[in-house]
């Protein structure tokens, strides 16, 4: 049996995933988490083979959780499940240690295939993204501005786009407000935006929120 831990902050989505997994005779739900901190706590005491990880969870988000999961003594394979059908986002997840990337509008049968593949030590990329990753990620001219953000800058950017303020983000990331303000200034410069409204507009145009 392949033991799957479902990490997803939306209860309805999480329940739907659990129902899908229940239909597969070779898969079993080992646990569930509604945020990144809860996921990391559960993994310390619950063995599993695959973590099905929502990339946009509150608190410690998916991109931040991946390297921390990989640092465990017996890390499970990580399959990212995201609403973002964006090649750069998939590339970021794979770069920090995910074994696969699927989108939430994936065919259910393909999601089960993805879980089995990463559990066996393989890789999986959503078919709709695979070709775009080949052509977009490696081409500087085709890369969007947010591809130049560091992992920390991207984490701050994502939270700002979701409506969090500097103090909220500082608390979530256990950093000082001054440090977050510095990251904010740098990322806004890189994105060529002059206000939070422009930042949110950029995030929406690139399907990052």
pTM as predicted: 0.70
Per-residue pLDDT at 80: 95
Mean pLDDT value across the chain: 88
Assigned CATH for 144-205:
1.10.10.10
Q: Hey, what CATH topology would domain 2-136 get? A: Rossmann fold (3.40.50)
Q: How far is CA 112 from CA 4, 8, 87, 109, 137, in A?
A: 11, 16, 21, 5, 26
Task: Name every residue whose Cβ is closer than 8 Å to that of residue 196 and which is 6 or more positions away in sequence.
Answer: 160
How would you classify the pairing of strands 2-7 and 50-54? parallel
- End-to-end Cα separation, the chain, in angstroms: 35
User: H-helix or E-strand containing 114?
Assistant: helix 108-119
Residue intervals of the chain classified under CATH 3.40.50.2300 are: 2-136
- Asked whether the beta carbons of 177 and 166 are under 8 A apart, the reply is yes
Give every residue of the chain whose pLDDT is below 70, as ranges: 131, 134-143
Q: How far is CA 171 from CA 39, 71, 199, in A?
A: 18, 23, 21
Tokens of 103: 């989108």
Tokens of 70: 């990989």
Per-residue DSSP letter, 176: -
Per-residue pLDDT at 127: 80
DSSP 3-state percent helix, strand, coil across the chain (nearest 5) = 55, 15, 35
């Amino acid at each position: 049996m392949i033991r799957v831990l479902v990490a997803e902050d939306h209860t309805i989505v999480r329940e739907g995933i659990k129902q899908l997994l229940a239909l597969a005779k070779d898969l079993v739900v080992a646990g569930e988490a509604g945020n990144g901190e809860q996921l990391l706590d559960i993994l310390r005491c619950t063995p599993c083979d695959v973590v099905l990880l929502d990339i946009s969870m509150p608190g410690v988000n998916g991109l931040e959780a991946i390297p921390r999961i990989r640092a465990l003594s017996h890390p499970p394979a990580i399959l990212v499940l995201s609403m973002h059908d964006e090649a750069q986002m998939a590339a970021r997840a794979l770069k920090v240690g995910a074994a696969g990337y699927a989108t939430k509008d994936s065919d259910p049968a393909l999601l089960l295939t993805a879980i089995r593949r990463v559990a066996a030590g393989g890789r999986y990329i959503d078919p709709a993204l695979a070709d775009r990753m080949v052509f977009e990620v490696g081409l500087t001219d085709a890369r969007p501005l947010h591809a130049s953000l560091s992992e920390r800058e991207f984490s701050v950017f994502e939270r700002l786009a979701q409506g969090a303020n500097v103090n909220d983000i500082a608390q979530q990331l256990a950093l000082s407000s001054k440090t977050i303000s510095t990251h904010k200034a740098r990322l806004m410069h890189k994105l060529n935006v002059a206000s939070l409204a422009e930042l949110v507009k950029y995030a929406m145009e690139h399907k990052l929120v």
